Amino acid sequence: MKHFKKIILLLLLCALSSSLLHSSIIKRMTVEFSDFVLISKNIYVDPKISESEYKNIVSLINDAKQRIIDRFGSFKSTPIIIFTNSSKMAKEYGTNDFGSAIRLPWNQYVVFGPKGQNIDIVAHELLHAEVGDRLGYITTQFKLPVWIDEGVAMQVDYRKKYLIDFSSINQNEIDRVTSTGTSQIININPFFSDTREQIIRNYQISKALITKILKQYSNSPIYEMLNRAKNEGFENIFTLQN
Ligand SMILES: [Zn+2]
């Protein structure tokens, strides 16, 4: 046990030191001291975003949280939420034009780009934060398969391009997507680093798989399933029954 704790500590230190080397992480960590405007608890916006937009942004966050509550029963996560107003600023804060959830050992950040003011995108990223909080940093980084992480987030993301019929998926595709591993690094995990069409297909398959698995469990609470998976292994809980 002592040895295990040492390994955890070492991993945290590694994550901390490598993380600090990235300026986007420093940007996120110091957002409260920047010229970004705090418009509501934990919500910061680019100073270039017009004041008339603030109300819409706060409503968007509340509506996205409500969508998660309606689908999965609760939402407890309190990430720092940052809205940027340009591709350049989004990149500086470590995301793309749409958005992403970034999990760090001490906090989670959900950062949106100029095209991220959309309820599907916001609910998707907030659910990543919720999953991160429920499972804890170590589990999400080292045990949570990316296809499950994305498939769960897609359950509150209703963009049409990600919706497919389960019968269109063949076994090879299922095997490929479910073996993409746990790395959330865009350039390393094949889930995120293929052609644009293939990446969209990966999201479609993950969504359809998780929808089917949730039905197998009679739509039992997802957070309970995640908690069980944390203890019993993700591959044992998130599996298709024939
Ligand atoms: Zn996602």
What CATH number does the domain containing 31 carry? 3.30.2010
- Asked whether residue 5 is domain-assigned, the answer is no
How close is the Cα of 26 to the center of ligand 1, in Å? Answer: 22
Residue 101 pLDDT: 96
CA of 150 to the centre of ligand 1 (A): 5
Distance 143 CA to ligand 1 centre (A): 16
Are 124 and 149 contained in the same domain?
Answer: no
End-to-end CA distance of the chain: 39
Ligand 1 centroid to residue 128 C-alpha, Å: 7
Whether residue 137 is found in the same domain as residue 161: no
C-alpha of residue 180 to centroid of ligand 1, in Å? 14
Q: 3-class DSSP state for residue 43?
A: strand
**Whether residue 126 sits in one domain with residue 211:** no
Supply the range of the domain harboring residue 173.
143-242
Per-residue pLDDT of the chain (242 residues; tens, 9 = 90+): 556 666 666 556 555 555 545 699 999 999 999 999 999 999 999 999 999 999 999 999 999 999 999 999 999 999 999 999 999 999 999 999 999 999 999 999 999 999 999 999 999 999 999 999 999 999 999 999 999 999 999 999 999 999 999 999 999 999 999 999 888 877 778 899 888 999 999 999 999 999 999 999 887 789 999 999 999 999 999 998 87
The helix-helix angle for 119-135 and 146-153 (nearest 10°) equals 130
Distance 125 CA to ligand 1 centre (A): 6
Last residue of a domain, one of 89, 110, 142: 142
Residue 189 domain-assigned (yes or no)? yes
Nearest to 119 by CA among 42, 163, 62, 43: 62
pTM, full prediction: 0.89
Domain count, the chain: 2
